[in-house]
Amino acid sequence: MKKIFVLLLLSTVFINCSGQQPKINGVSFVGSPEEITAAEIEPVVNVNANWAAVMPFGFIKNLETPTVVFNVERQWWGERRDGAKKTIELLQDREIEVMLKPQIWVWRGEFTGDINMKSEEDWNTLKKSYEDFILLYAVLAEEMQIPILCIGTELHTFVQKRPEFWNRLIAKIRSVYKGELTYAENWDQFDKVPFWGQLDYIGVDAYFPISHSKTPTVEELKNGWQKHKNHIVTLQTKMKKPVLFTEYGYRSVHFTAKEPWDSNRTNGNIDLKGQNNALTALYQEFWNEPWFAGGFLWKWYHNHNKVGGERNNRFTIQNKPSEQLIKEFYSTNK
């Protein structure tokens, strides 16, 4: 009996030591203009996603404007606090975990990484405004028992020029929110974030350029990943934090992996195979790595039957061949 007990104990220890956390098989759930219902969550369930990023927004007029406008009536329902909360409730009802990911949008789509103030007064205004924005959603994250809160997205100039602000902000967030934290940095700046040591995940928006081919093969794409993957591993080894792809995805266009961040609607002829191959290569390269937490596919719309399709050249996989790829992959790679 004693021998059996010892064997069971050793087996339990081995499982606990060798076991990994389930992968985050996520989608980035785009905020809806109007209130949604449980029916809009079913396609997320059907694709076997076990996580979703919910993304309320704040708005800035231009790259030098210090005030973030957020949670106002003229915003879309899904971009406000009430809409985010309801969306979270609907996802949780279907046992889908949530990463709350408040984001900034600059008018006309200018890149948030270039937000830069002209004076110390403006920097102080921006810091206060951004803090109010994030803390509103940190409190919501705690209220809703959200497992992960993302404290910012692609703000490298702000981060690198005002690191002391971010140190204080993280401490304030921790005082009201007890879950895990990450920050989503762009693929070309993720190694310059000074506060990874204070967070729980290294968050990367994984739009790495990995091929110049019109319709690259999976093997070509995997080869293109190697230098970037080595770069990621170097930081991960140094910081000893799991890596989370806070965004990943490819458009269904020719040359999809050349500049994957390009969201210009008019750029690119439709290439469904290219999108499929690029996603396949990413999954084969990362999902089996023990240091890799998973990721959130960019992007998923609430009105499933009206978006995407084989004549659509955007990021969404909805109603395209890649939807079946994701469904099968997320089902078997947990």
For the chain (334 residues), the mean pLDDT of every run of 10, in chain order, is 36 40 97 98 98 99 98 97 99 99 96 98 99 99 99 99 98 99 98 98 99 98 99 98 99 97 83 98 98 98 98 97 98 90
Rg (CA), the chain: 20
Matching residue, tokens 């905020």: 31
DSSP designation for 322: H
- Three-state DSSP class for residue 29: strand
What pLDDT was estimated at residue 139?
Answer: 99
- Three-state DSSP class for residue 307: coil
CATH 3.90.76.10 matches 23-332: no
Do strands 57-60 and 69-70 pair parallel, antiparallel, or not at all (unpaired)?
A: antiparallel
What does the longest C-alpha to C-alpha distance in the chain come to? 74
70 phi and psi angles, rounded to 5 deg: -155, 155
Helix H or strand E segment including 229:
helix 218-239
Domain boundaries, the chain: 23-332
What pLDDT was estimated at residue 313?
Answer: 95
Chain center to CA of 306: 23
- In single-letter form, the type of residue at position 255 comes to F
What is the value of pTM for the model shown?
0.93
Do strands 243-248 and 292-300 pair parallel, antiparallel, or not at all (unpaired)?
A: parallel
Angle ∠(233,188,316) on CA atoms, nearest 5: 95
Select from 67, 22, 30, 68 the least CA-distant residue to 48. 22
Buried b / exposed e across 218-236, counting CB within 10 Å, b at 16+? Answer: bebbbebbeebbeebeebb
